[in-house]
A and B are shown apart, each in its own frame.
Chain A
């Protein structure tokens, strides 16, 4: 008589995805090695900072787009206030250090029609795209095929934005308004923190009037603290607040040039910064470095916990919304001097008035964008 041992088939879901975990870590190592071979430890730090941001955003599910939508639809303010935690933490370092000069500087921008129109367009587009600058990066990196579409069109839109920005600047405007220019490094910081307190009070009062929750959940508080600290780290490594969308513009312009388009006569690409960025390696551009890090960090974080990119492609209407939203976001980010990260977080954390103006206009754009979502088969919520 023989005996056999029967074991039940292992039906436990895979705990991680070794292929994509290895890809994300391996590619990060290659990029870091390339910049270290050039003797650029600060560039390696920017890739690592981006990697941390990608992982933190993904694990905290830190979504500006969804939290703004919850606020506008239902009055729920927890997510919005979680975003303010990021700014407050980053401002503690950025406002005083940027005001003291040297190689550090804040995120500033002129105030005029370009800022107003661009921010409004960006807010509208991000509700169709279902992601802002950082949201697109971490969800695309995290395995959402839909957001790969958004990212591709974001890049295209930002190149169109670069071509039209000079015309919008000619509509007029005033120079940047910085709190530290009027109140000094520490006074500027106090004014910046006070502005966050006032904005928080307004948002909480709106939430209370609508009978909605206004307390950030634990994930948003912890995520906000970590992301704020990483913003400060990126500032120290790069010399300027974290920005996302200029990298997209450079990628798009390099691809356009490769395809035979001549950008040498475009005014934007003759300004010193963009001109050099177009000529140099993408690994010499600070925003590209953090962007690559963020994509790979989100991929690593997603692959470390579950099989990567196993979901099906979304319906066609959703993909069209991703494309249209990405295109508008890209254009709006260039016209409005950045996205939630470069213009809002970076701007307010630098004590620059344009950050708050960007926020108000982008919130107004989101209000319209939410109402357009059903046209593409997306829910308003």
Chain B
């Protein structure tokens, strides 16, 4: 499967020029055992993306968390993501934990994160940070390149594959861009998604807060 964490070969295929599009068609929420936490269901033209939302009323900053190649809501380091949501809420930061529709499919997972970004923007988030682990670290590096409101990316134990364009994250970012509006439909091109990478992941470590050596510590 092109784009997964084990496929380190060239990514040339017949579908390379195919546009990838996704449109959010309906968003719904359901309660959890915690009255401050909601399950969200982002229905789209490519399937439903499930998420867990820890909203903070009045906050305009948010973090989106995604797991590794196996997906999941909780992340590494003994369920970091729900723990982090509780730590960030007093600081006014909303957390959205996303489950991939197709874990280990790089392009689809990037689209899932971008859909999450669009959803968060739609409910009022002005600035976003993306957090991913292993395979998910490469996913958020790519999504951070593509989504204008992303202010930072934290890549934990990033795999090498899929991080070639990490230097694009160093682009200047306006403090509060006024030219970006809620746009639930976005487009990406397969040809613009990253191919195999090497030292690019090292720049992720330096520039964007990776927490362990690339390719190691994937627990």
Partners in one complex: no
A residues adjacent to B (C-beta < 8 A): none
B residues adjacent to A (C-beta < 8 A): none
